Amino acid sequence: MKKISSISIAALLLVVFATGIVTAQTRKAGINAAAFLKVGVGARQVGMGSAVTSLNGDVTNIFWNPAGVALRDEKAQVSFTYNSWIGGLKQNAVAASYNMEGIGTIGLGVMTLGISGIIADRDIYPGNAALTALQIDQATADTYDYMDMVAQLTYSTYVMDRLTLGASFKFINEKIDDQNATAIGFDLGSVYNIGISNWNIGARISNLGGDMKFYDYASPIPLTFSVGTSLVPVRIGSNSVLLAVDLVKPQDGQQYYYTGFEYNYNNTVFLRGGWKMNYSYMGLAGDGIDEGTTLRQGVQTSLEKGSLGAGVRVPMAEYTIALDYSYTVFTSFSDVHRLTLHLSMK
């Protein structure tokens, strides 16, 4: 057990060290394929500002930190998420986990993001067979569909009384019109409970894997490092307040700081809020335009403002049903609404 503990702590420190390395690198935005993997899943998670690296015991965490999927007192969980995303895109996600006693928790997750019936504006060369043969776009339909999909298998387990480790294997596919690209990815994560005030620390590496290639151009999937902590500083009877903070470093962006809270009233009603430092427009004007410099005018620096959420949990004899909602405010796009239905079996 001591050997397992040492290995686990070393793995956690490796994640932190790797995060520091990537933070020091300068990468340009827009270099990654499969950008849909950055769209948050779960009304509870997004309602807390996506500061969820250190949360555990929730099957929807399969799309965040695989270590947070491990079950201890429950037999199984299932969740369904619907997200009316920006630009008419629709996100749907389903996740299921099963606690195999003495082995660990096995999870399955599928998430899609897409839109149908886009009017096609094709570059065609009628009457010129030579040019037609050279054109890239060979489809002929008046409309086309765009659909991204990730399917993943997750394993998570308590290697110690307070430490969970998890890993996910992911199959990633992007399809637009008649073109497809695929990639394989992996997530690794850990969550450790310090033992006081339900204080957790967590770390994850998301989207380790190969490139996705459309035609002759290959791009990496969005590698992301994150460390986070959460605790319950206030607990009065069945009421409590949960606070969470994440440090998130995407491969193609700067360092972000996600913050969130959750107020629990009688283990039945939940209120949530979240803000992303260095991402949301804190300190900027209401339209998200920065102050500019002597060399340039102000520019749009962020689209997302912040998130709010609420949830209700209904316990039964053998099951618990929960319905969560989150609302994310944007500066240039329509605001985003998410719903998650969650079922737990004892």
Backbone angles phi, psi at 208, to 5 degrees: -70, 130
Q: What confidence score (pLDDT) does residue 102 get? A: 87
DSSP conformation letters of 193-260: E-SSTT-EEEEEEEEEE-EEEETTEEEE---EEEEEEEEEEEEETTEEEEEEEEEEEETTS--EEEEE
Q: What confidence score (pLDDT) does residue 283 get? A: 39
Model confidence over 119-165: pLDDT tens digits?
Answer: 887 766 666 777 767 777 777 777 888 999 999 999 999 999 899 99
**2-345: which CATH number, 2.40.160.40, 2.30.130.10, 2.60.40.1730, 3.40.50.720?**
2.40.160.40
Q: What confidence score (pLDDT) does residue 114 get? A: 94
The C-alpha angle 186, 255, 214, rounded to 5 degrees, equals 45
C-alpha distances (whole Å) from 299 to each of 99, 254, 256, 334 are: 49, 17, 19, 20
pTM: 0.84
Q: What confidence score (pLDDT) does residue 73 get? A: 87
Q: What confidence score (pLDDT) does residue 325 get? A: 98
CB contact set of 142 (below 8 Å; sequence gap of 6+): 119, 120
Q: Which parts of the chain have pLDDT scores under 70?
A: 1-29, 123-127, 132, 278-292, 298-302
Q: What confidence score (pLDDT) does residue 32 get? A: 83
Q: What confidence score (pLDDT) does residue 14 get? A: 47
Give the count of alpha carbons within 13 A of 331, CB side only: 18
Model confidence over 302-327: pLDDT tens digits?
Answer: 677 789 999 999 998 899 999 999 99
How far is it, in rounded angstroms, from Cα 30 to Cα 179?
A: 20
Largest CA distance in the chain: 78
Q: What confidence score (pLDDT) does residue 4 get? A: 46
Q: What confidence score (pLDDT) does residue 169 get? A: 97
The two structure tokens encoding residue 70: 């491990």
Asked whether the beta carbons of 306 and 328 are under 8 A apart, the reply is: yes
How far is it, in rounded angstroms, from Cα 153 to Cα 144?
A: 30
